[in-house]
Amino acid sequence: MSTVIQIDQVSKMYRLGEVGSGTLTHDINSWWARIRGKEDPNSKLADVNDRTTMTNNEYVWALKDVSFDVKQGEVLGIIGRNGAGKSTLLKILSRTTLPTEGTIKAKGRIASLLEVGTGFHPELTGRENIYQNGAILGMTRREITRKFDEIVDFAGVARYIDTPVKRYSSGMYVRLAFAVAAHLEPEILIVDEVLAVGDAEFQKKCLGKMKDVSTNDGRTVLFVSHNLAAVKTLCTRSVLLSQGTVRDIGDTNQIVTQYVKLNADHMTRRIDYKGEGHAPGNDKIKVLRAEVTPELISIEDAITISFELLNLTHFKKLKIAFDLVNANEQIVFSTATDITINEREVGTAKCFIPGNFLNDDIYSVWFYAFTDEMTHLLLLKDMLNFEVIDKSRDYAYLGKINGVIRPTLVWETSG
C-alpha cells in the first residue's frame, strides 16, 4: 500500500493566554525565521505540554517532533489523554492551523469532522450546506447531486433538509455533518470524538460506514476516540500521544493496553503516610492511608475503597463518608458508616462496591468525617481518583452506555 500521509517532525507551539505570540517583536522574529527556513527563536523558550504542573514559562509545545506515516486504505486510531495533542494534530492535518515546525505531505482530498457542524453555515439549510461542503471538498454540483439522496437517507433528516441548520439539534447536526464527510468521497477522512453526540444506532452506522469506505473504497480514515472498544473494533494500527509527543505506534491491542496502563499511572489510587506529620487532614482527623483496589478496574470488577484514620479529637464515635464523583462532577452516590476510634488511636474502614455497577468513567473520592452528632470535622476533595474501563465490549459501538451508573439487574419475563 502506498503512503498517503507523511508526517515529519511536526511541532506546534503556543503562547498561553495569547493570540499570536503576544508581542510584536516575537511575532516578527518567528515570521522572519519561517520565511528563511530557520528555527523559530521562540521555540527554545517552550516547555513540554504538561498541564498538571505550574510554570512561569508562557510557551508550551502542544506537539513536539511528531512523525509517522499512514497507508492508503488504513484506519489509524489516535488515542491519548485530554491535552495529549490529538486535536491539535488533526487541526494541522485538516489545514485549519499551521505547524510551527515540520512538514506534512498528503495525497488526495481531506474531509474533516472535528466538531459538531464543522464547515456548516447556521443560516443555510441542510440542502444548501450539503452543496457548500461538497464544493469546499472540490466536488462538482453533478457529483453532489448524485450522492444527495444517499446522504440525506444516511443522516435521517429528510423532513428537515430545507430547514436552516441552526434549528437542528446537536444530534441532527452531527448526523448530517458525518453523512456529508463520508459520502462525498474524500481520499482521507478525519473524524474526532464528535460522533459521541449521536445516539447508539447512528454511532454503529458511522462505525460501519468508516469500515466500509476503508475496506471497499480504499480510502484512509484517521479516527480519534476515548472509547477503546470502538478503536479496537475499527483500527488495526494506532498512535498513542502523550504530552504532545508520540509515545508509541503499532498494533491497536498493544497500544490500547499501554494507554490503559498510562492512565492508571496518572491516577491517585493510593496515599500512604507512616506518620501524621505530612498526612492529609487537619488538627481533628488525619488520613494516614487510603486506597482503591484493584489497580486496573474494569466494569465487572468489584472495587474496595479503604481508609486508615488517626483520631485527634476526644470524640470516640465518629461518622465517615465519601461522595463518589464522576468526570462531569456529578455525585454518583454518597455512602457513610459509623466508626469508633479512641483519641490518638488509629481506625480502619473499608467500603465494597460490587462489580457491574459503575459505568466506564473517571471517578474521584471526596472524603468526609463528622462527630456522632454530625458536627463537621474534615472534608478532603479529590482525595483518591481512579478510572473504570470497559474492556469486555468488542462489538461496533461508539460511546459509553447511557447512565451515571450501569448495574446488572435481575429481570423476569413471560410470554
The CATH code of the domain that includes 376 is 2.70.50.60
Q: Up-side HSE of residue 79: CA atoms within 13 Å toward CB?
A: 30
How many beta carbons lie within 10 A of that of residue 358, not counting itself?
Answer: 23
Preceding amide of 294 cis, omega within 30? yes
Alpha carbon separation from 272 to 77, 183, 304, 323 (Å, rounded): 37, 55, 16, 20
In a domain, 251, yes or no: yes
**240 & 141 share domain:** yes
Are residues 287 and 373 both part of a single domain? yes
303 in the same domain as 154: no
Between CA 228 and CA 237 the distance in angstroms is 13
Q: Are 149 and 179 within 8 A, CB to CB? A: no
Instruction: Quick: pLDDT tens for 246-288.
Output: 999 999 988 988 887 777 667 788 999 877 788 999 999 999 9
How confident is the prediction for the chain on average, in pLDDT?
83
Q: Which of 226, 243, 264 is the last residue of a domain?
A: 264
99 lies in the same domain as 207? yes
Task: Assess if residue 382 is contained within a domain.
Answer: yes
| Same domain, yes or no: 288 and 259 | no
Residue 52: predicted pLDDT: 45
The kind and range of the H/E element at 46 are none
What is the extent of the structural domain holding 252?
Answer: 73-264
Question: Where residue 190 falls among pLDDT bands split at 50, 70, 90?
Answer: confident
CA-nearest of 98, 135, 107 to 119 is 135
d(CA 229, CA 233): 6
The 3-class SS string of 337-388 reads EEEECCCCCEEEEEEEECCCCECCEEEEEEEEEEECCCCEEEEEEEEEEEEE
Q: Give the global pTM.
A: 0.63
Last residue of a domain, one of 248, 264, 280: 264
Task: Give the confidence band of 356 by pLDDT, cuts at 50, 70, 90.
Answer: very high
Output b/e per residue, 130-153; b: 16+ Cβ within 10 A: bbbbbeebebeeeebeebbeebbe
Instruction: Report, as an integer, the average pLDDT of 109-123.
Output: 76
Residues 233 and 100 in one domain: yes
CATH number, domain at 144?
Answer: 3.40.50.300
Q: Give the closest residue to 254 by CA, choosing from 233, 230, 237, 234.
A: 237
Task: Note whether residue 172 is domain-resident.
Answer: yes
- Whether 17 maps to a domain, the answer reads no
- The total of other beta-carbon atoms located within 10 Å of residue 57's CB is 10
End-to-end CA distance of the chain: give it in Å, rounded. 54
What does the pLDDT average to over 136-155? 88
Residues 145 and 222 in one domain: yes
Does residue 398 lie in a domain region?
Answer: no
Residue 197's pLDDT band, with cuts at 50, 70 and 90, is low
Place of cell 488504513: 74
C-alpha cell belonging to residue 116: 459538531
Q: How confident is the model over 51-99, as pLDDT tens digits?
A: 444 445 567 888 999 999 999 999 999 998 777 888 889 889 888 888 8
Assigned domain for 230 exists: yes
Q: 184, 133 in Cβ contact below 8 A?
A: yes
Interacting residues of 108 by C-beta distance below 8 A, sequence separation 6+: 4, 186, 187, 188, 220
Question: Cβ contacts of residue 360 below 8 Å, gap of 6+?
Answer: 299, 388, 389, 390, 400, 406
Contacts (Cβ under 8 Å, ≥6 apart) of 44: none
Indicate whether 228 and 315 sit together in one domain. no
Report helix, strand or coil for 59: strand
User: Could you report the per-residue pLDDT of 226-235, keeping only the tens digit for each?
Assistant: 777 778 888 8
- Of the three residues 249, 264, 279, the one that is the final residue of a domain is 264
- In the chain, how long is the greatest CA-to-CA distance? 84
Residue 93 falls inside a structural domain: yes
Q: Are residues 309 and 373 in the same domain?
A: yes
Residue 189: pLDDT band by 50, 70, 90 thresholds?
confident
Which DSSP letter does residue 174 get?
H
What's the pLDDT at 2? 87
278 Cα distance to chain centroid = 34
Same domain, 359 and 296: yes
Q: Grade residue 395 by pLDDT with cuts at 50, 70 and 90.
A: very low
Q: Do 164 and 121 sit in the same domain of this protein?
A: yes
Number of domains forming the structure of the chain: 2
Same domain, 158 and 286: no
Max mean pLDDT range (144-153, 166-175, 185-194, 213-222): 144-153
Task: Identify whether 240 is part of a domain.
Answer: yes
